[in-house]
Amino acid sequence: MSLFRKIFFTVLALNLFYFNAVAQRTEVLLDEGWKFSKGSFPAAIEPGFNDTRWETVTVPHDWAISGPFDKEIDKQVTAIMQNNETKATEKTGRTGALPYIGEGWYRKNLNLPVIQSNQKVLLQLDGAMSEPRVYLNGKLVGQWNYGYNYFYIDITNALRAKDNVLAIQLQNKPKSSRWYPGAGLYRNVHIIIKDNKSIDQWGITITTPLIKKEFAKVNLKTRFTGKGLKLVTRILDSLGHQVAVDTAKSIFGSEADQNIAVQNPHLWSPENPYLYAAVSTLYEGNIPKDVVRTRFGIREIKYTAGTGFSLNGQVRKFKGVCLHHDLGPLGTAINTAALKRQLTILKEMGCDAIRSAHNMPSPEQLELCDEMGFMFLAESFDEWAKAKVENGYHLYFDTDAEKDVVNLVQANKNHPCIVMWSSGNEVPDQFGAEGVKRAKWLQEIFHREDPTRPVTVGMDQVKATMQSGFGALLDIPGLNYRVHLYEEANKAFPQGFILGSETASTVSSRGIYKFPVEKGADKQYPDFQSSSYDMEYCSWSNLPDDDFVLQDDKPWVIGEFVWTGFDYLGEPTPYDTSWPSRSSYFGISDLAGLPKDRYYLYRSRWNKTKPTLHLLPHWNWEGRTGQTTPVFVYTSYDSAELFLNGKSLGIRKKDKSSPQNRYRLMWMDVKYEPGTLKVVAFDSQGKPVAEEQIITAGKPAKIVLSADRKEIMADGKDLSFVTVSVVDKDGNPCPTATDQLNFEVSGSGKFRAVCNGDATSLESFVKPTMKLFSGKLVVVVQADKKAGEIKLKVSGKGLKSAQVEMLAK
């Protein structure tokens, strides 16, 4: 996302036809110059409060991510219903063991231009964790309860001519979340200055109700404030060229309705995420009063019994993942570069859909999904009126749920990536008549606010929802796991299709392998790691292969959203009673964003443009010589031959004898000996077309660095993620290395964070030192605002150091 789109002074020069007038709406991002302190400071609302000893921070900001990790933080003695637990046990890492609980204050001096009598000023928060109370010059001007939602406040009447002071109080209660929620102003804060006669905030609704090869009908409904105004809308293509223009002819009160034809439209899809822009200009006479630019896509979605889901007339299935909102070592503070890296990794895997779990997504995530081509399931709540955690959303459901849904839809309705809404996840309200009423009530609010998209709920109590009618009333019945109930549910529900709204919950630790290799639920080991043979899962779930069978064999199964795309902070199942486990094991990639073996299993099915050939485990097994060490191959090819030190161990071909044999090639009886393990894949004619090999490595000798981006923006926010690994004297990767490394950044950048993906590590993310985990870690380097060269040097005892150079420009 460009700086121009995020912080912009929209000055649109019009044709001389309109006297060469200039219209202006100003949006300012309030990112710098904030003062922060954790604690209770009632006097902080006053402009004269002395905050000089407070920390100076940049927003977005997560006050808890710097730690330290502490098992006493939010320690809970509870039985987790969603995990089928009946006995309460002590949970120590459930919310990440980071200090997010408590009260925090942010203060900022507002240096605004002179506000004219004909102008209004809005303050918009994209999310604040949590329960934000907003004060301007000592006066409470607005508040919200749900930390994941967006809201705006008209602060015009509370502004002074100068010396305005904004103060925001946040409060995070213990036992308020089932994962790490973060803390602070973790999303962006905006000031919008515009004319009193202007387009309403979130006041433009764009739909594409008719699409043909020759043209598309684009409908725009625009709400505005003011009488006797004229609205002109121009449609621009992706290059900024005008392709259509229309002056609104139908204005009903303060809403204009326009239908504009776009000739030979480019349709939005994950494969071709083409975006148009609508530039809406509001005039009083010939004087422009306001200009709003709205990106949109032309696309058609349908959900049909028997056929399933189609996009632009083509039936397809969701190849999706669920994502929590934290960004690993960066915490919950939104960063576009980090979000884009996540999506780039998922795109390479072949993923085409995202579910925001279990909360409302950030504007930046949705903008990137529009641009990069990901369909999106936008979720709202993890709780309704019945509690999962003591201080969860159920406290606000009756009073806030409707306004929260309204803001979710109104803020995001023009994103073409969004193809469905979710009103809840595994809510305890699935039981009984009251739950049915709540599901119907919420769905009708979504329909009222957006008649173009369907609504789902992630249901885990499938038997109950079949009996009560809960599942039958939903637009899309979403099943969380319960693969054994898919057939029965499809017969019971009238919709004619089933969505895997949450699937798999396979657990693994990157580069860690356990013996013997056996399929099993809730397996635990003394080191608190899970095996990367991808044969272990949770009691309520299953292996990925079971979902693959349903996706491939049942036309009425419309896709899946895997739990999860990346590891996240908190919820360390199956070790949620085992300190120091403090982050999840569910991810297809680890907390540092490094792919686990399972990444290639999904890639072998999902990526249709590039072949996949991946060999596991690693081949450094001191002390295992002669012992059975199974070898798996994840590949898009149907057959392959395995060699150990040049000797063939046989050819394996995929077959339907079991779900695992259908999607994996497995040599279960390999006896370990050091050396070279090689796999050769064959095409459909039996010709060798690809190979991969792993060599037993010697002792770690030198450090190797690989930056995901060598050029980044000198904006004080952009990031480069540098993968750090070690190799032996011959250059072979050392997959078991755990060396302690140190990091030094110089030039036009700084060290931002580090992560090794180990769910049990208590090393700080924000200190420039960390141990390797399974031979790797990731260092995050942040650009300064001054352009120039950046150098990252990585060193470790007994290792040849390495340096990588980047450019901030």
Q: Are 574 and 538 in contact (CB under 8 A)?
A: yes
Place of tokens 């009160």: 253
- Strands (DSSP E) contained in 79-229 are 89-91, 102-110, 119-125, 133-136, 139-143, 151-154, 164-172, 189-195, 198-211, 215-225
Catalytic-labelled residue, pool 131, 367, 379, 426: 426
Among this protein's residues, is 571 annotated catalytic?
no
Among this protein's residues, is 46 annotated catalytic?
no
Catalytic-labelled residue, pool 502, 536, 560, 641: 502
Positive or negative, the CA dihedral 335, 337, 343, 345 is: negative
Is there a cis peptide before residue 68, judged by omega within 30 degrees of 0?
yes
Helix (H, G, I), strand (E, B) or coil at 345: helix
Helix (H, G, I), strand (E, B) or coil at 708: coil
Query: Using CA atoms, how far apart are residues 707 and 345, in angstroms rounded to an integer?
Result: 14
Q: Are 265 and 248 in contact (CB under 8 A)?
A: no
Query: Count H helices, E strands: the chain?
Result: 11, 50
Place of tokens 């057939």: 487
Q: Which two tokens stand for residue 630?
A: 């199974």
Q: Are 366 and 379 in contact (CB under 8 A)?
A: no
Beta partners for residue 219, in sequence order: 207, 259
740-747 and 711-712 beta bridge pairing = unpaired
The DSSP string of 256-292 is EEEEEEEESPPBP-SSS---EEEEEEEEETTEEEEEE
Neighbour order of strands in the sheet with 22-29: 9-13, 22-29, 189-195, 119-125, 151-154
Beta partners for residue 764, in sequence order: none
Query: Using CA atoms, how far apart are residues 87 and 68, in angstroms rounded to an integer?
Result: 30
The catalytic residues are 426, 502
